[in-house]
């Protein structure tokens, strides 16, 4: 009868060696290994023939902290899900337009003659915000 092979005596494959190398790379990134020790252990990993040899390479390493999540890919401008950026821009624009309109009204009432309606120039950024909203940039997703 053939005796079963102990798990530590099983042969390893290149993907298993690559996984150990990645584990060692994360240990270097976490400050658990220096580069010389990393190089030595990676050479040992690629020279390992059995799972027992491979497991001894990382046996003394604690599990490194998880890598931080990658930032979301940059999408369109104002691509937040709830349209917060567009609301903030609209509030800022409306506040500035209201203040300018009030100041223009006060200047017009208190001065003699016609006063140039400079507040009309605020329609340009307002129109730009409107176009962005109509196109769907900054609008909340449904």
Residue 141 has pLDDT above 70, yes or no: no
Q: b/e string for 106-131 if b means 16 or more Cβ within 10 A?
A: eeeeeeeeeeeeebeebeeeeeebee
Residue 140 has pLDDT above 70, yes or no: no
Q: What is the pLDDT of residues 31-75, one digit of tens each?
A: 899 999 999 999 999 999 999 999 999 999 987 677 778 776 655
Q: Over the chain, what is the mean pLDDT?
A: 85
H/E stretch holding 135 reads helix 123-135
Provide φ and ψ at 2, rounded to 5°.
Answer: -85, 130
User: How far is Cα 121 from Cα 7, in angstroms, rounded to an integer?
Assistant: 77
| 42, 36 Cβ separation under 8 angstroms | no
Residue 123 has pLDDT above 50, yes or no: yes
Residue 19 has pLDDT above 50, yes or no: yes
Q: Which of 55, 47, 51, 49 is nearest to 23 (CA)?
A: 55
Task: Report the phi/psi class of residue 83: left, alpha or beta, with left for phi > 0 and alpha for psi in -120 to 50.
Answer: left
Largest CA distance in the chain: 114
Whole-number pLDDT of residue 69: 81
pTM: 0.47
User: How far is Cα 61 from Cα 32, in angstroms, rounded to an integer?
Assistant: 7
Domain boundaries along the sequence of the chain: 7-58, 84-135
Comparison of pLDDT for 63 and 81, the residue scoring more: 63
Give bridge partners of residue 26 from the DSSP assignment.
none
Of the spans 19-28, 56-65, 123-132, which averages the highest pLDDT?
19-28
Whole-number pLDDT of residue 78: 45
Joined tokens for residue 56: 């001894």
Whole-number pLDDT of residue 24: 93
* Confidence band, pLDDT 50/70/90 cuts, at residue 2: confident
Q: Which of 44, 2, 4, 52 is nearest to 21 (CA)?
A: 44
């Amino acid at each position: 009868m053939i005796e079963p092979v102990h798990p530590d005596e099983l042969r390893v494959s290149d993907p298993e060696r690559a996984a150990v190398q990645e584990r060692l790379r994360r240990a270097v990134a976490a400050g658990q290994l220096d580069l010389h020790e990393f190089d030595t252990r990676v050479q040992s990993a690629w020279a390992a023939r059995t799972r027992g040899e491979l497991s001894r390479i990382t046996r003394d390493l604690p599990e490194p902290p998880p890598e931080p999540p990658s930032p979301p890919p940059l999408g369109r401008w104002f691509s937040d899900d709830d349209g917060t950026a567009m609301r903030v821009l609209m509030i800022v624009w409306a506040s500035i337009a209201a203040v300018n309109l009030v100041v223009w009204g006060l200047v017009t009432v208190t001065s003699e003659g016609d006063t140039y309606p400079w507040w009309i120039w605020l329609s340009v950024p307002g129109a730009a915000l409107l176009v962005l909203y109509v196109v769907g940039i900054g609008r909340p997703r449904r």
